Amino acid sequence: MRIAGQKLTGKLFAIYATVILITIVMLLPFAWMLSASLKLSSEVFVFPIEWIPSKPQWQNYVDIWTKIPLALFIYNTSKLTIIVTLMQLFTSSFAAYAFAKLEFPYKNALFLGYIATIAMPWQVYMVPQFLLMREFGLNNTHLALICLQAFTAFGVFLMRQFYMSIPTELCEAARIDGMNEYQIWAKIMLPLSKPALSTLTIFTFVTTWNDFLGPMIYLTKTELKTIQIGLRMFISQYSAEYGLIMAASVVALIPVLIVFLSLQRFFVEGVASSGIKG
């Protein structure tokens, strides 16, 4: 028994040590970015690395707001990200409820065809989408990006898989009580799907906030550009100002961290569980 316990303890120690090591390796680039954001450009690549700057350059976080219209870029990105995230939560959960709990002709074929679009790279239909938006007169508007990202096959798949784990008897009982399908979706399905909705929120928010190619293609006016395009503009104009570039990158990372940390409990629950807990 003692030998078995020692083996188990040694195995757990090895697992924890491996996880901690991997975590440290993954966090090192972010720690370096934060450290570099508080240094002069001449100090950023000094070796050995000074992880805690002796003279922190807090002025970097002041200068980035005047070098480029960073506040405008953050506003544009926040607007697009919030609208797209809310639209995806609505459309994905609504369509997923139909695919999971309703019966209609060719339901499985339609769902399979819709989900099959996930396997198609965006670069394949990028040009036709651009031509379509141009014909609609939506070039150089945020509406083009909102329309293109308001629906997602991944979101429908994620929500449908969660809805499938909820007993159909709940929906049938609600129908007997006189609820229509819209009421069942709003009053029963949505409250039960917080973990799945949180997971979809994290994925959508991070993807939209970090989107570079979409805004690069559709937005050419400076007053419409997003934070990722703004960072690219910053790098092209101040390629040697590494401290300022890192400071701007840290600012761009903060909203993503806030959203993830706020929803991580539901995110873990959504991955670990499926269905209703009694």
Residue 197 has pLDDT above 80, yes or no: yes
The token pair at 90 is: 């609505």
Residue 128 has pLDDT above 80, yes or no: yes
The confidence score (pLDDT) of residue 274 equals 42
Residue 118 has pLDDT above 50, yes or no: yes
Residue 189 has pLDDT above 80, yes or no: yes
The whole-angstrom separation of Cα 113 and Cα 104 is 15
Q: Who wins on pLDDT, 123 or 159?
A: 159
Across 20-24, 125-129, 183-187, 241-245, least confident range: 241-245
Domain range annotation of the chain: 2-36, 60-272
- Peptide linkage before 48 cis (omega within 30 of 0): yes
The whole-angstrom separation of Cα 248 and Cα 108 is 47
Across 5-19, 77-91, 190-204, least confident range: 5-19
Counting Cβ atoms within 10 Å, is residue 84 exposed (0-12), middle (13-18) or buried (19+)?
buried
What's the pLDDT band for 277 if we cut at 50, 70, 90?
Answer: very low
Residue 268 has pLDDT above 70, yes or no: no
The whole-angstrom separation of Cα 115 and Cα 119 is 8
- Percent of the chain's residues with pLDDT above 70: 91
What's the pLDDT band for 85 if we cut at 50, 70, 90?
Answer: very high
Q: What is the mean pLDDT of residues 201-230?
A: 88
What is the DSSP-derived secondary structure letter of residue 120?
S
What are 234-263's pLDDT values in tens digits? 777 766 677 888 888 888 888 888 888 887
The token pair at 158 is: 């994620």
The confidence score (pLDDT) of residue 83 equals 94
Please report, as a single letter, which amino acid is at residue 7.
Answer: K
How would CATH label the architecture of 60-272? Orthogonal Bundle (1.10)
The confidence score (pLDDT) of residue 272 equals 53
Q: What is the mean pLDDT of residues 197-223?
A: 88
Q: Who wins on pLDDT, 199 or 266?
A: 199
Average pLDDT, the chain: 83
What are 36-61's pLDDT values in tens digits? 888 887 777 777 777 788 888 888 88
Q: What is the mean pLDDT of residues 179-192?
A: 86
